[in-house]
């Protein structure tokens, strides 16, 4: 592989254009909150800045062009995961045609075969509408991928909903259920879904510890029920809310500074963020991992 990469220069080159689509982490279009200023940045600039903050190796520079070469630009969702002082990046590939999908897991394995070791059984016969691959630095230096996640629909739910399964060497296992709610019109449903939990202590629950007042105006709230904890996502938030989220979830200082310094250049985007939380001995909400999403 090549030598060190100047990730911040790479981030600076991610200049927005008038033809760029405004897409959220489901690849659904949204109305931008304002016009892009001269010198505005794509959300992918934040991805490359995260590589700098996490001191990612040069191998990542080879991965992104492979994904764009197969799926095209603005077709892959990236997620920066930060927890316990460690970074990882998850990439999400949508195709709502399901069995008639254009590209699937087999294509990902084919285009990344010399970068990522993967000997997992193919799940491509399953009618999933999306799959994702979480990549840690070790995976780009020889450690094999242990899991690829696939996402299928959840018919019968009264809201948009899905089910995630993890494909491992030994088979598939249930990972989580997630539910999308309109933040403006379904506030009671959101509260019911959040509090109907096997992990929360109802007698000591402080709702603003979950539904942060600072996130008022988020267009969509997503609640996920995972095996050992629950998760909450604020979708389509503004850049100042992103800054608050990063501070609250203790993202790397260098990345927080990058967003603050480039606030105006990112303000034409709506962002998607999410966090996993545990419950402390006194019933307090304890964040365990945060995620930020964009497209590349």
- Mean pLDDT of all residues belonging to the chain: 95
pLDDT of residue 89: 98
Please state which of the ranges 117-121, 198-202, 210-214, 292-296 shows the lowest mean pLDDT. 198-202
pLDDT of residue 2: 63
Q: Among candidates 48, 39, 40, which has minimal Cα distance to 68?
A: 48
How is residue 195 written in tokens?
Answer: 């509090």
pLDDT of residue 3: 74
* Predicted model pTM: 0.96
In tens, the pLDDT along 123-168 reads 999 999 999 999 999 999 999 999 999 999 999 888 999 999 999 9
Residue 147's Cβ-side half-sphere holds a number of Cα atoms within 13 Å equal to: 12
**What φ, ψ does residue 223 adopt, rounded to 5°?**
-115, 130
**If you average pLDDT over residues 59-78, what whole number do you get?**
96
Q: Among candidates 87, 82, 96, which has minimal Cα distance to 137?
A: 87
User: What pLDDT band is residue 209 in, cutting at 50, 70 and 90?
Assistant: very high
């Amino acid at each position: 592989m090549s030598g060190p990469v100047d990730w911040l220069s790479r981030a600076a080159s991610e200049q927005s254009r008038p033809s760029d689509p405004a897409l959220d982490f489901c690849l659904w279009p949204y109305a931008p909150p304002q016009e892009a200023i001269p010198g505005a940045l794509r959300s992918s600039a934040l991805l490359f800045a995260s590589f700098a903050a996490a001191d990612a190796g040069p191998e990542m520079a080879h991965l992104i062009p492979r994904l764009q070469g197969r799926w095209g630009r603005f077709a892959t969702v990236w997620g920066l995961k930060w927890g316990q002082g460690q970074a990882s990046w998850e990439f999400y590939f949508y195709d709502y045609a399901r069995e008639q999908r254009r590209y699937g897991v087999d294509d990902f394995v084919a285009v990344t075969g010399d970068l990522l070791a993967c000997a997992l059984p193919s799940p491509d016969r399953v009618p999933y509408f999306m799959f994702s691959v979480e990549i840690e630095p070790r995976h780009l230096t020889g450690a094999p991928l242990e899991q690829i996640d696939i996402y299928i629909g959840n018919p019968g739910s009264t809201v948009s909903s899905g089910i995630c399964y993890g494909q491992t060497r030994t088979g598939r296992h249930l990972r989580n259920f997630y539910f999308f709610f309109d933040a403006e019109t379904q506030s009671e449903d959101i509260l019911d879904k959040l509090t109907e939990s096997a992990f929360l202590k109802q007698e000591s629950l402080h709702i603003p510890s979950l539904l942060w007042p600072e996130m008022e105006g988020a267009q969509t709230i997503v609640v996920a029920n995972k095996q050992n904890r629950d998760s909450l996502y604020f979708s389509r938030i503004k850049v100042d809310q992103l800054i608050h989220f990063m501070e609250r979830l203790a993202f790397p200082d260098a990345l927080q500074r990058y967003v603050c310094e480039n606030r105006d250049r990112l303000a034409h985007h709506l962002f998607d963020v999410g966090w996993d939380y545990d419950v402390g001995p006194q019933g307090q909400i304890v964040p365990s991992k945060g995620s930020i999403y964009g497209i590349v």
